[in-house]
């Protein structure tokens, strides 16, 4: 191994840099003791900077900005409720299973600090205690601190209010004259409010170029998957990258979910920054959808319906990330590994509170190393009961489908293969 294996792909790398830059934020991140008399400036603002302001700032898709005391104070009780319920920040993996990069979830002490602050009247405190404001990047900008080498933009699509969900799939040429490896890729919807998700594929006419496992027909590779709540993109550290071939075209699968009141015209862009020409990474990152469309049936009113999907690793593999994808009835999803010769599944991730409108990618702090022959097991749970407050129709039996009123049970895995020797070396280290 010639490069660090501690971190491969980074989402929100820039955001991490912001957080790490502030001692106050670092302290908030530790989340140890609960102050007896918390104040906004000393105790609450660092938490908001660390875990909330990423989205809650002007011109974002969020309903309120949480930069200042004046902005926060009217929402104090609501903030308390949302963090106590762990609805916010939107991070739904069991905190006792696995370790992830850029985990914005609050510690119990941080939640208790906010609760106590609200109980005591949400005082401002001494302005001198406040950490310096975070200089967030402008909205509608490329998050990784540099301009992309390639930007492809979809044709404008009008999304009228209360109209049918649509799934346009525009294709665009890249203009590449040679194969290039991707350093980062970011999807930037023009109107986030109506864009449910965007899948970015590399497609080509020729029969050569093996398709990714599980990819749709005609698709060579899934490049990126932007679901709601994921607006930063993928960053591939030196040594690990996705390949975009010169003959590939970019195909977007855009899923538009119309607004109830307003019409929107969206043009979604994809920005790609490449590593320098001639660069060859040590590992090529691939994506696999582990799902079971054929057997998915969710009876009407059923509160906890399980479905299972499996995928066997044919080579020693390092798993970079896991992203559950379901729709309105999604309730939870678990990723397990069953190593060869073992009868005991090993839980890798447990997203025990899935929220359809927030579908973060859970990037492992250190890529998970698994031997060839390991069976990856994705277990999905759906709630089709009336108690599911976002369920549009508890009276309907539901199966697999593209629309959000249909369902899915996809566990997306990003991974790369390693050699048997590398696997043995990593095992020895561990």
Binding site residues, other proteins, CB under 8 A:
162-167, 258, 294, 296-297, 299-300, 392-393, 395-405
For residue 410, the minimal CB distance to other proteins (Å) is: 16
Contacts of residue 104, Cβ cutoff 8 Å, sequence gap at least 6: 50, 51, 54, 89, 91
Task: Pull the structure tokens for residue 7.
Answer: 């971190």
Query: In a 3-state reduction of DSSP, which class is residue 8?
Result: coil
Cα 48 vs. chain centroid, distance in angstroms? 20
CA angle 44–47–48, rounded 5-degree value: 90
Closer CB to other proteins, residue 393 or residue 420? Answer: 393
Q: Which is nearer to other proteins, 147 or 164 (CB)?
A: 164
For other proteins, which is the closer residue by CB, 16 or 292? 292
Nearer to other proteins, 5 or 405 (CB): 405
289 within 8 A of 204, measured Cβ to Cβ: no
CB-nearer residue toward other proteins: 115 or 257 = 257
Nearer to other proteins, 321 or 404 (CB): 404
Q: Minimum CB separation from other proteins for residue 399, in Å?
A: 5
Quote the least distance from Cβ 258 to other proteins, whole Å: 8
For other proteins, the closer of residues 271 and 330 by Cβ is 330
Q: Which is nearer to other proteins, 109 or 405 (CB)?
A: 405
Nearest approach, Cβ of 406 to other proteins (angstroms)? 9
CB of 356 to other proteins, least distance (A): 13
Residue 347 to residue 377: CA distance in whole angstroms: 9
- Closest distance of CB 395 from other proteins, Å: 5
To other proteins, the closest distance from the beta carbon of 204 in angstroms equals 21
CB-based contact 9:240 (threshold 8 Å): yes
The least distance separating other proteins from the CB of residue 384, rounded to whole angstroms, comes to 11
Closest CB 80 distance from other proteins, rounded Å: 33
Contact assessment for residue 249 and residue 203, using Cβ atoms and an 8 Å cutoff: yes
The residue count of the chain comes to: 430
How many other β-carbons are positioned within 10 Å of the β-carbon of residue 146?
A: 11
- Distances 428 to 5, 184, 308, 390, 421 between C-alpha atoms, Å: 14, 32, 32, 47, 11
**Cα gap 29→52, rounded to integer Å:** 13
| Dihedral over Cα of 400, 406, 411, 416: its sign | positive
Closest by CA position to 80, among listed 66, 94, 92, 95? 66
DSSP secondary structure letter of residue 385: S
- In the complex with other proteins, the residue whose CB is nearer, 64 or 302, is 302
Residue 27 phi, psi (nearest 5): -65, -40
């Amino acid at each position: 191994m010639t490069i660090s294996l501690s971190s491969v792909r980074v989402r929100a790398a820039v955001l991490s840099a912001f957080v790490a830059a502030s001692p106050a934020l670092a302290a908030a991140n530790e989340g140890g003791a609960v102050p007896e008399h918390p104040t906004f400036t000393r105790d609450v603002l660092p938490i908001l900077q660390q875990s909330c302001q990423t989205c809650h700032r002007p011109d974002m898709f969020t309903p309120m900005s949480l930069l200042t005391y004046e902005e926060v104070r009217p929402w104090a009780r609501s903030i308390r409720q949302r963090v106590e319920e762990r609805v916010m920040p939107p991070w739904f993996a069991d905190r006792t299973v696995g370790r992830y990069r850029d985990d914005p979830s609050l510690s119990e002490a941080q939640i208790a600090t906010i609760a106590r602050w609200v109980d005591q009247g949400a005082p401002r405190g001494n302005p001198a205690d406040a950490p310096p404001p975070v200089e967030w990047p402008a909205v509608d900008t490329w998050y990784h601190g540099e301009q992309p080498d390639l930007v492809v933009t979809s044709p404008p699509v009008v999304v009228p209010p209360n109209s049918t969900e649509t799934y346009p799939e525009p294709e665009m040429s890249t203009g590449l004259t040679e194969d290039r490896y991707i350093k980062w890729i970011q999807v930037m919807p023009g109107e986030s409010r109506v864009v449910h998700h965007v899948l970015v594929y590399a497609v080509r006419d020729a029969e050569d170029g093996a398709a990714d496992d599980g990819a749709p027909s005609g698709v060579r590779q899934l490049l990126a998957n932007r679901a709601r709540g994921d607006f930063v993109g993928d960053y591939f550290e030196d040594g690990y990258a996705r390949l975009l071939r010169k003959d590939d075209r970019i195909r977007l699968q855009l899923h538009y979910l119309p607004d109830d009141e307003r019409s929107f015209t969206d043009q979604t862009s994809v920005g790609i920054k490449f590593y320098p020409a001639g660069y060859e990474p040590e590992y090529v990152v691939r994506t696999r959808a582990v799902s079971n469309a054929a057997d998915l049936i969710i009876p009407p009113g059923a509160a906890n319906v399980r479905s299972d999907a499996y995928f066997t690793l044919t080579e020693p593999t390092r798993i970079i990330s896991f992203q559950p994808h379901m729709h309105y009835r999604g309730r939870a999803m678990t990723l397990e590994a069953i190593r060869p010769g073992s009868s005991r599944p090993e839980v890798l991730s447990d997203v025990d509170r899935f929220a359809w409108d927030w579908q973060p990618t859970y990037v492992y702090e250190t890529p998970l190393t698994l031997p060839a022959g390991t069976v990856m097991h994705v277990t999905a749970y759906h709630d089709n009961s009336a108690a599911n407050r976002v369920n549009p129709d508890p009276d309907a039996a539901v199966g697999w489908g593209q629309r959000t009123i249909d369902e899915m049970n996809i566990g997306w895995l990003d991974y790369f293969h390693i050699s048997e020797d590398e696997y043995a070396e990593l095992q020895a280290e561990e």
